Amino acid sequence: MTKLKVDDQAPDFSGIDQNGRNISLSQFNGKPLVLFFYPKDDSKSCTNEACEFRDKYSSFVNAGADVIGISNDDPESHANFISKNSLPYTLISDKDGEIAKKYGVHKELLFFPGRTTFILNKEHKIIGTHSSLINASSHIQESLKAIDHLKGGTPVH
């Protein structure tokens, strides 16, 4: 599948979170959402990204949005990663890569899982996307911009 883009409808997905619960996109109906796909729990860049989302989490919540991280790590790894870094949001295991495939998130540099963020409005239409394997901080900045635009009613293009 090709990577999803602005104005596409986000496909529903289902995956297991850090607590062993099945989580699906439809559980967040009526709520804006930031979905960030990242390569690996505990890697330096991914930890920085996850902690920056943590540090800005209240800004997302205050705008009515939630944040979900997705990687191919297993739920136990996610639970440890959350505990170690005091992450306040859900992490979903995409062990088989099916969620990434639905969203068109491909491996980068031939073997690294992709780092792509999708910002969804309350109808789960994509209002923003951002990809950068190297600059993890840019994902948070771009997500906040899109959520701020959403909050103000201005479309992001």
Residues pairing with 16 in the sheet: 22, 93
Q: Identify whether 51 is a catalytic site residue.
A: no
Chain CA centroid to CA 35, Å: 2
Query: Which residue out of 4, 23, 35, 46 is catalytically annotated?
Result: 46
User: In this structure, are residues 96 and 28 in contact, taking their beta carbons and an 8 Å threshold?
Assistant: no
CA distance 60 to 147: 7
**What are the Cα distances from residue 135, in Å, to 21, 47, 100, 112?**
31, 12, 19, 14
Q: Give me the active site residues, please.
A: 46
